[in-house]
Structure 1
């Protein structure tokens, strides 16, 4: 690390320490497995573990709470929570939400279909006349959100969307690749549902902090420590645990609660 960068890092920690000492942050999220979710009353997931470790190193304790995503955003806007997990950058949120400059992960939003009712979709134009299952308030991409030549039909949970897809009530469903494959495994639909190659959008997912005094320093310090942690074997072990471990895949999320935005 260059000397100038090291000095900035030390200064950030110095400025941050009075805030961090004995402070507990309240972080909110919806269930977004395998990134962050609740299982048997306990938080789990790739970004949960990474965030908890980074904040531990910065001297913070964390209280986690899971709820529908629109409510998460409302709590941040009303000052009732300190941070929200895995949000996309949306201009309308900037007045009340400060994004940590280093992303936690990247969501790859794709379409899913049933093998019995396949559709040739290599571009959004080929969605004309189809019905796509969505989650209320999710920001998929401007082109997808604003298109008028296909129908978007929202469902309260990812399971509900894939259940409707399996029953033929919608033509396609859209969500993050990892999330979709995760839910399909949990529902036992691997033989019925498949992913399409078209990527609707790739969007970095961030830890968003409520705009409060001292949060700019925390955002910068968190980003620096997160970059450092991503280079360590412990980070690779977390990724491997949630993406390759059979027991984790089989037991990760028994159900996902209502999810309404990203």
Structure 2
């Protein structure tokens, strides 16, 4: 009997050493799969600035993040009060969305919107569009669910043509089927670099507002409280470190000043 007890003690001791003393908490965060350079799929794996920022912030809090990529509208729907997910990243804040989600104080980065136009149309137009009100009663292509600041979002006289993604909007403008598209500045640069033929067809005509982009959280999922607390601390620490600027520069490119994105 004594030998059996000794064996039991030895097994228990071995298990204690085999298991990690402090297992990291793993949080699942949804992100879209087609918004480069912020969140996209590369070689079959999640990639992008937003993904790296969330992972880095949570790592500083001793937590891990599991990224699940879904289309943007599904990402939003799954974190609404009736949804079952905890968090979705890459959202600009407005009154309508603030009523549905919890937004941390710390955002991921700032994002400037642009209006791009068909070059041929602008060249032939009698009046060149220079401000948002010049878009009234004209059609602007943009992905469903995307926001571009109150002045643009609240102008009901702008005709919106919703698309599944930014590339579809750009192709519509390139073809001349739609004269304008609203798009994030760095997303535009990404597509121009990867599809040089677009440079001959598109031109930027209006700068929109520079909006913070957040990871928003569910108002009903209990785990969202812990995730927010860890994210707030981790993101604040990340922004105070050289790693934050390094991640921005990695995805924005060496020639792009990072200050306006912070």
Relative to the length of structure 1, the TM-score reads 0.77
Where in structure 2 are there 5+ consecutive unaligned residues?
Answer: 1-21, 256-262
- 1:36 corresponds to which residue? 39
Distance across 2 between alignment mates of 1:105 and 1:113: 26
Q: Is the 8 A contact 1:184 1:193 kept in 2?
A: no
Whose Rg is larger?
2
Q: Distance in 1 between matches of 2:83 and 2:162?
A: 28
SS across alignment from 1:99: coil
Paired residues, what number? 226
Query: Per-residue CA shift, 1:132-180, capped at 9, x if unaligned?
Result: 1111222223432343444211121211111111110111110111112
Q: Distance in 2 between matches of 1:22 and 1:95?
A: 32
SS at match of 1:190: helix
Counterpart in the other structure of 2:186: 178
CA distance in 2, matches of 1:174, 1:96: 24
SS in 1 for 2:29: strand
Residue matched to 1:203: 211
Partner of residue 229, structure 1: 238
CA RMSD of aligned residues (A): 2.3
What is the aligned partner in structure 2 of residue 216 from structure 1? 225
Residue 92 and residue 151 in structure 1: after superposition, are their counterparts in 2 closer, same or farther (change >3 A)?
closer
Q: Secondary structure at the match of 1:182?
A: helix
Contact map agreement 2:114 2:208 (CA 8 A) in 1: yes
TM-score by length of 2: 0.77
Alignment match of 1:159 (pick from 157, 167, 176) = 167
**In structure 1, what is the Cα distance between the partners aligned to 2:77 and 2:136?**
34
Q: Which of the pair has the greater relative contact order for Cα pairs under 8 Å at 6+ separation?
A: 1
